[in-house]
Structure 1
Amino acid sequence: MSLQNFLKNLKTIKRGHPPTVCSKPNQAISEIISKTLNTSAPKPVNTTTFLGNLNPATLLHIITDPDLKSSKCLRFFDFLLQNQSLMSFKPDLEAHLTLTLRLLRERRFSDAEKKIQSVAVIEYSTYPFSVIAPTVGNCCNDPKVVAKFFNSMLKVYSDCRMFDLVSEVFDYMKIKGIGMDERTCTVHLLTLRSADLLQWGLDFFYRMVESDVEVSVYSLTVMVDWFCRSGEVKRGRELVEEMIGRGIKPNSVTFNVMLNACAKRWDFVELDTVLLLMEKEGVEFNDKTYKILIEGFTSFGEFDQAKKLVWEMHDKGLKVDTYLCNLIISGYSRLGFMDSAQSVFDELTERRIFPNYDTYWALISGFCKAGEMGRAMAYVNKMHAEGIELDSVMFNTLIDGLCKEGMVDEAFELQVLMENKGLIADLSVCEKIMSGLCKMNRAEEAKRLLNVMVKRGASSVIARFTA
């Protein structure tokens, strides 16, 4: 029965309660649906009768009617599913798929995926893939919309971790020549990675490569990153070499993933192999590449190599973060190579890479450790001239260094300056100053400092300094 005839018959029902007559049949349907969806109001007679007399053919007319918004059709369809008692039939698979395909045609992908999940997953026992697949062709003859449907179905099965069914959908699409979306396939790879199924992921990736999927460097990088996270950098690099032969070219992101894994594991043999491959493919270093290598070399103690890379990076016009220079200066300082540390500091200032607190801390703490307090204080003055303030840690380090070198007067002056700035010196360095003052027979100054310490709760030192 056509929609128009249905509406004509509907007018003859319950003459004592005639429905509102509209000039357009679609308007009448729209009004009845609106009343149906208004759950807060009692159902008028014509609405209840409409639902009771609804049949599969009329339902298909409604959900495909271009004059009715798909959002209203979706709400109406969901209402029917939740109120089966008002109807004489249950919406069949064709109705489900027809509405889903319309949602995909109108790019309402989230709503479409929910409909697919409700049928393909929740009602899998009733509608297995073998039943759904051929029905889709009966509901739509647009290849693009059909492709969207099966790609969405693949994603739904993947999200629900029904991995065997993902393979079934993939194989069906390949046999039928249905266009596969690489992005959807890559999302499935990521889902397999989250499930820690590396071999499944590798098998699926090869199926992508051997099918009509236009595999991009993004999918390749996902697999390489997966190998590297699993500690199998060599396998990742070998996969890259194989894919190069198949025409899938790696980019800087792909190489950076491998280099980062090598650097963190201090696997410099494999790192050199990756660098050779990178050079062979003509992929240039970017700022991320340099950062990875510099951090890797400094963590391993190869500061000369890291320094070379920093200046190379700067010469290429890439922005060099002060942080990278600090890694090298700090490394040299820890090893006591203060001339090398100072040389890096001087060059970074010449190249207008501005030092920060951490830069000065690396140098000053290194000079204090080496007992070169004159050079340490010179950098304190430079630091002060640039408006960078000393904090408690640096004050205490300087005072401790001065005391070790017998420069008690300078240490005492710094401690007084520190107190004036509202900072508190460590009790350990205060004791060293007091000890020095006592040796110099400056008892009054020592007593004043002792009183300060006692007020801070250091009563245990009284016995040691009473004499």
Structure 2
Amino acid sequence: SEANKLFCEMISRGLQPDEVIYTVVIDGYCKSGEMRQAFSLHNQMVQMGLTPNIVTYTALADGLCKCGDVDTANELLHEVSRKGLELNICTYNSLVNGLCKVGNIVQAVELMEDMDVAGFHPDAITYTTLMDAYCKSGEMVKAHELLREMLDRGLQPTVVTFNVLMNGFCMSGMLEDGERLLKWMLEKGIMPNATTYNSLVKQYCIRNNMRATTEIYRGMCAKGVMPDRNTYNILIKGHCKARNMKEAWFLHREMVEKGFSLTVATYNALIKGFFKRKKLLEARKLFEEMRREGLVADIELYNIFVDMNYDEGNVDITLELCDEAIENCLLGNTDNENT
């Protein structure tokens, strides 16, 4: 990284970095998951006679938690406490997040209770992190209880908090609860964003309820919330599934005009949809557009266009597509997004 280059340049010029500079570079390594380099720099810092502070250790603990090594993070912070350094809210939140990520929600809740005892009251980040864990495990009642507790404490939920709950309701099939949550947000003056609406749109598309999908999409636009890349990809796949190819094509053009890119799965859905409707010109245009974007089609699409070009007598193109299919699909040489 640029920060690391500057750090190395400082050392090469005989300049001595202070605690702040060491901590910034350590934090950078932790954020990128390079924990060996982070601890190496921490040890170097100590050897230089500098004392790491709670911000340094919070960065290290957060990095360990994000890598799933919560036990080492706990040990590190116990050692920090023995050294007389006081933990802060950011430190606790890092541990809560780490415990939730490895599925240890019970211990995360216990840690939140310990925070209160230690005089560090859980904040919106703490509650949102735990709600997210409960939502992902399908425990919506507990997630809702945390929201109530959060409100009772006078904490204001953020749009991220509501998005976590919305995703939880939708993933649990509780779409009516999701719509009630959206209404409540608007009543409280909390403006939803595209992510809020995307959760509802996606689930209605999965249920093939395109009427409800369209109503939510129109309501979203009426509120001045701009659709994002995910919104368009979800809608296009939904309309393709419902065989509304005219609407899917319109959304595709609008999406491209706004500078958004389609995912592999969206291209696959569009092309197969047009092929099934015998709209071969549109299917071919999209397939070529997809290839120009450097995206890799699935093996079914390659088979379609290999057969089509072979029947048309396009031998060179047929062989080229066969080679592509072998390299990209059969040899597993794909780094594309397939969602």
Q: TM-score range by the shorter chain?
A: 0.5 to 0.7
Tell me what 1:342 maps to. 214
| Distance in 2, Cα, partners of 1:229 & 1:198 | 13
> Do the aligned residues in 2 keep the contact of 1:364 with 1:376 (CA within 8 Å)?
yes
Tell me what 1:4 maps to. none
Aligned partner (choices 282, 285, 292) of residue 154 of structure 2: 282
Identify the structure with bigger relative contact order (alpha carbons < 8 Å, sequence gap 6+).
Answer: 2
Note if 1:291 corresponds to 2:163.
yes
> Do the aligned residues in 1 keep the contact of 2:275 with 2:283 (CA within 8 Å)?
no
Note if 1:196 corresponds to 2:84.
no
> Do the aligned residues in 2 keep the contact of 1:228 with 1:261 (CA within 8 Å)?
yes
Aligned partner (choices 183, 190, 194) of residue 322 of structure 1: 194
Tell me what 2:120 maps to. 248
| Distance in 2, Cα, partners of 1:375 & 1:311 | 27
Aligned partner (choices 137, 149, 160) of residue 265 of structure 1: 137
Tell me what 1:412 maps to. 280
| Other structure's SS at 1:456 match | helix
Deviation at 1:342, TM superposition (A): 1.5
> Do the aligned residues in 1 keep the contact of 2:194 with 2:225 (CA within 8 Å)?
yes
Task: State the superposition RMSD in angstroms.
Answer: 5.0
The one-letter amino acid paired with 1:450 is E
Tell me what 2:330 maps to. none
TM-score (norm 2): 0.57
Equivalent runs, 1:220-235 vs 2, <5 Å:
220-225=92-97, 227-229=99-101, 231-235=103-107
Tell me what 1:451 maps to. 313
The one-letter amino acid paired with 2:161 is T
Tell me what 2:333 maps to. none
- Indicate how the Cα distance of structure 1 residues 335 and 248 shifts in structure 2: closer, same or farther if over 3 A, else same: same
Q: Which is further off, 328-337 or 217-226?
A: 217-226
Deviation at 1:319, TM superposition (A): 5.8
The one-letter amino acid paired with 2:165 is L
Deviation at 1:358, TM superposition (A): 3.7
Aligned partner (choices 216, 226, 230) of residue 354 of structure 1: 226
Deviation at 1:331, TM superposition (A): 2.7
The one-letter amino acid paired with 1:196 is D
- Indicate how the Cα distance of structure 1 residues 241 and 263 shifts in structure 2: closer, same or farther if over 3 A, else same: same
Deviation at 1:323, TM superposition (A): 3.9
The one-letter amino acid paired with 1:452 is N
> Do the aligned residues in 1 keep the contact of 2:170 with 2:203 (CA within 8 Å)?
yes
Larger radius of gyration: 1
Deviation at 1:291, TM superposition (A): 3.2
Query: What's the CA shift string for 1:116-154, capped at 9, x where partnerless?
Result: 69xxxxxxxxxxxxxxxxxxxxxxxxxxxxxxxxxx5xx
Report sequence identity in percent.
21
- Indicate how the Cα distance of structure 1 residues 189 and 307 shifts in structure 2: closer, same or farther if over 3 A, else same: same
| Other structure's SS at 1:250 match | coil
The one-letter amino acid paired with 1:412 is L
What number of residue pairs does the alignment pair up? 271
Q: Which is further off, 281-290 or 213-222?
A: 213-222
| Distance in 1, Cα, partners of 2:151 & 2:97 | 20
- Indicate how the Cα distance of structure 1 residues 195 and 307 shifts in structure 2: closer, same or farther if over 3 A, else same: closer
| Other structure's SS at 1:336 match | coil
| Distance in 2, Cα, partners of 1:190 & 1:420 | 44
Aligned partner (choices 348, 364, 371) of residue 243 of structure 2: 371
Which structure 2 residue ranges, 5 or more long, are not aligned?
1-15, 17-42, 323-339
